[in-house]
Chain A
């Protein structure tokens, strides 16, 4: 298990992380979400010892050292390949740095290239591959040594929907073999689809942490989405409505202090007439993300 315990990091005058704690369990996928600059990459850099930090990070109860690196597969946010190398040279170089022999790696490369449907062969130079195919080669470099901890910083950027599905399948495969997976993404649909756990950072602080369901439950039962001609002020005066957020013109999110007030509110809002939308449900992660971000900007 990856344990992150009360880590903090300041860059000169900027506090990048404040007392961040969460765990990544084997066979589970953790999504790390947050706005740009929230501290996601800094968290990854702390895990990988790229930066010094206050606090403690342990992998399987051991501090992360050079020996631990061999168990980690890391995909950086920006593409990180050597343009002049061939696909084979690139993958073997990175695999050797993960303590894999060239002899053992070579036969695997073709298989992985087929799995990811890379357009090119072993001798193709990295620079002559398309951006998407470079991304796939980078993913192969990250996964080919079958790491037990996989860190993916924005893995879906640059991939079309078909290839994104391909990647999701490989992430699920890695999960099934018991790997710990943590990835960051701005695409909440991918997070919702894949993640068992969720950590949301805001200005370096953890604002949400738990299983995806529990996070949603925190918001879920006491939210009503309604599209009505009534004003925000009118809706605010209804019983058990704690707060009204305008999501779009005439579309509101009502926050309730008691989820059982739903049927009563339905009657009060509809008055037996047609309304475009009345839905009592947990919010999507995307909505939670937007709400949290708006709260911080407000």
Chain B
């Protein structure tokens, strides 16, 4: 076993010491810094613009104080309550201390709102004010219609919308609010994209690393020191170590970044909001579920297939192409998974959630959506685990002959020869 760990350590160290690994790991932090910086600068700009311009407020002028007060009460942030007459409003608009002012008149029980300003009224303020004015007008209409309470109730009757969800009888009984649904969708995208990115990256790293050593003929020296099985497992564990390192860096780095950004007022406000907290905990709950086991085992499965593909390359110059078969499979399942995100209980996702090479994409989705029982999860997990063990065992049997053959035939012919020579 010692020699297997030597190969593991060597593979791991050689990968993590490269610039490409450092860049790959740091890229999300760099992107976060860049986008955060851009966001900060934009916010700074807009706030200084806002302070340079008017205060984004309007004044309400009306001969009816109750009407005016009612609007001020509802839209404190949008209305400058200190301005009470048209003359002051005109002067403040001219000096750009106000965007403009709205004159409200009530004639024949009909409210008329007239906006005066240098530019068009802000669309948000307009829609807010119109919403409130509509309500006041509605109450005025009801009052003037002299209706009975019964008639008023009839007029106020609203249609109702109900959701009846036909959930799997044995699946989680918890009701799914809109927030939960949003959290599930978010969790789905987190899992699917992380899985996809890791597979694309490390399938290539794995295949290329093996193919380079095969192409450089180093493999004969290595096989004169240890067995092909130990070399193969050492390579897989080494690359797996890189995946874990990347995760750990993200967790630790994420923690450090969280400590910093949580001090920013806007972020602090966002995080202290109870609704947002609930949303975050729902997402974390869905991401850190047993579905993660499928992702971890699936990554292991694709890594051993990548190591096999690397062994089927005949020249070092072909090492970049070694991972192509794995990349195509991953891409295909990724696209299918994205398309079936909202209909994960149909036939295709159901079947694919049991197939070893696709269950890592589909079973977590079905679990997030509450479409599977724990027995179904266990069966799928057992199939994935068994495939991983059997494939590892089979590949270790043929790996020596695959790595030592140098014929220039095609991919499948080399695989066939490798199997024949291993007998």
Given the complex, which residues of A lie within 8 Å of B226, measured CB to CB? 66, 69, 97
Q: Which of A77-85, A243-251, A268-276 contacts B (4 or more CB under 8 A)?
A: A77-85
Of A51, A74, A78, A97, the most chain B CB neighbours within 10 A belong to A97
- B199-242 vs A, CB cutoff 8 Å, 1 = contact: the mask equals 00000000000000100111111111111001000000000000
Interface status of B400 (Cβ within 8 A of chain A): yes
Q: Which 3 A-B pairs have the closest CB atoms?
A: A97-B225, A74-B224, A80-B217
- A207-224 vs B, CB cutoff 8 Å, 1 = contact: the mask equals 000000000000000000
**Given A84-B14, A93-B10, A96-B6, A50:B220 Cβ within 8 A:** yes
Q: Within the assembled complex, what's the spacing in Å between the Cα atoms of A151 and B10?
A: 25
Interface status of B423 (Cβ within 8 A of chain A): yes
Q: Within the assembled complex, what's the spacing in Å between the Cα atoms of A85 and B218?
A: 12
Interface status of B421 (Cβ within 8 A of chain A): yes
Given the complex, which residues of A lie within 8 Å of B2, measured CB to CB? 99
Interface status of B404 (Cβ within 8 A of chain A): yes
**Given A66-B226, A69-B226, A93-B10, A50:B400 Cβ within 8 A:** yes
Among A12, A76, A93, A151, contact of B217 (Cβ-Cβ < 8 Å): A76
Contact between chains at B220 and A80 (CB < 8 Å) = yes
Given the complex, which residues of B lie within 8 Å of A99, measured CB to CB? 2-3
Among B3, B217, B421, contact of A97 (Cβ-Cβ < 8 Å): B3
Q: Within the assembled complex, what's the spacing in Å between the Cα atoms of A78 and B220?
A: 9
Q: Determine the main DSSP class of B at the interface with A.
A: helix
Interface status of B85 (Cβ within 8 A of chain A): no
- What is the distance, in angstroms, from A53's C-beta to the closest C-beta of chain B? 11
Supplied contacts A12-B417, A52-B422, 7 more A-B pairs, CB within 8 Å: A50-B220, A50-B223, A76-B217, A79-B217, A96-B6, A97-B226, A98-B225
Among B216, B223, B401, contact of A81 (Cβ-Cβ < 8 Å): B216
Interface status of A179 (Cβ within 8 A of chain B): no
**Given A52-B423, A82-B213, A74:B222 Cβ within 8 A:** no
Given the complex, which residues of B lie within 8 Å of A66, measured CB to CB? 3, 226-227, 230
Contact between chains at B221 and A94 (CB < 8 Å) = yes
Closest to B417 in A: A12
Interface status of A241 (Cβ within 8 A of chain B): no
Given the complex, which residues of B lie within 8 Å of A45, measured CB to CB? 404
Interface status of B420 (Cβ within 8 A of chain A): yes
Given the complex, which residues of A lie within 8 Å of B14, measured CB to CB? 84-85
Q: Which of A67-107 contact B (CB under 8 A)?
A: 69-70, 72, 74, 76, 78-85, 93-94, 96-99
Q: Within the assembled complex, what's the spacing in Å between the Cα atoms of A83 and B14?
A: 12
- What is the distance, in angstroms, from A144's C-beta to the closest C-beta of chain B? 12
Contact between chains at B216 and A82 (CB < 8 Å) = yes
Interface status of A141 (Cβ within 8 A of chain B): yes
- What is the distance, in angstroms, from A24's C-beta to the closest C-beta of chain B? 16
Contact between chains at A80 and B420 (CB < 8 Å) = no
Q: Which residues of B come within 8 Å of A, CB atoms? A: 2-3, 6-7, 10, 14, 213, 216-227, 230, 400-401, 404, 417, 420-423
Q: Which residues of A come within 8 Å of B, CB atoms? A: 11-12, 45, 48, 50-52, 66, 69-70, 72, 74, 76, 78-85, 93-94, 96-99, 141, 151
- What is the distance, in angstroms, from B342's C-beta to the closest C-beta of chain A? 47
- What is the distance, in angstroms, from B359's C-beta to the closest C-beta of chain A? 36
Given the complex, which residues of A lie within 8 Å of B219, measured CB to CB? 80
**Given A11-B421, A96-B6, A97-B3, A141:B221 Cβ within 8 A:** yes
Given the complex, which residues of A lie within 8 Å of B401, measured CB to CB? 51
**Given A76-B220, A80-B221, A97:B420 Cβ within 8 A:** no
Q: Within the assembled complex, what's the spacing in Å between the Cα atoms of A76 and B226?
A: 15
Closest to B401 in A: A51
Contact between chains at B216 and A80 (CB < 8 Å) = yes
Of B216, B225, B230, the most chain A CB neighbours within 10 A belong to B225
- What is the distance, in angstroms, from B110's C-beta to the closest C-beta of chain A? 83
Given the complex, which residues of B lie within 8 Å of A85, measured CB to CB? 14
- What is the distance, in angstroms, from B219's C-beta to the closest C-beta of chain A? 8
Given the complex, which residues of A lie within 8 Å of B7, measured CB to CB? 97
Contact between chains at B404 and A50 (CB < 8 Å) = yes
- What is the distance, in angstroms, from B237's C-beta to the closest C-beta of chain A? 16
Given the complex, which residues of A lie within 8 Å of B3, measured CB to CB? 66, 97, 99
Given the complex, which residues of A lie within 8 Å of B222, measured CB to CB? 97
Given the complex, which residues of A lie within 8 Å of B422, measured CB to CB? 52
Among B217, B223, B224, B421, contact of A78 (Cβ-Cβ < 8 Å): B217
Q: Within the assembled complex, what's the spacing in Å between the Cα atoms of A98 and B222?
A: 9
Q: Within the assembled complex, what's the spacing in Å between the Cα atoms of A96 and B4?
A: 11
Contact between chains at A97 and B6 (CB < 8 Å) = yes
Of A80, A84, A85, the most chain B CB neighbours within 10 A belong to A80
Among B10, B213, B225, B420, contact of A12 (Cβ-Cβ < 8 Å): B420
Q: Within the assembled complex, what's the spacing in Å between the Cα atoms of A248 and B399?
A: 50
Closest to B403 in A: A50
**Given A81-B218, A82-B213, A48:B6 Cβ within 8 A:** no
Q: Within the assembled complex, what's the spacing in Å between the Cα atoms of A80 and B223?
A: 12
Given the complex, which residues of B lie within 8 Å of A151, measured CB to CB? 224
29 A-B pairs with C-beta separation under 8 A: A12-B420, A45-B404, A48-B220, A48-B223, A50-B220, A50-B223, A50-B224, A50-B400, A52-B421, A52-B422, A52-B423, A66-B227, A69-B225, A70-B225, A76-B221, A78-B220, A80-B218, A80-B219, A81-B216, A82-B213, A82-B218, A84-B14, A85-B14, A93-B10, A94-B221, A94-B225, A96-B6, A97-B3, A97-B6
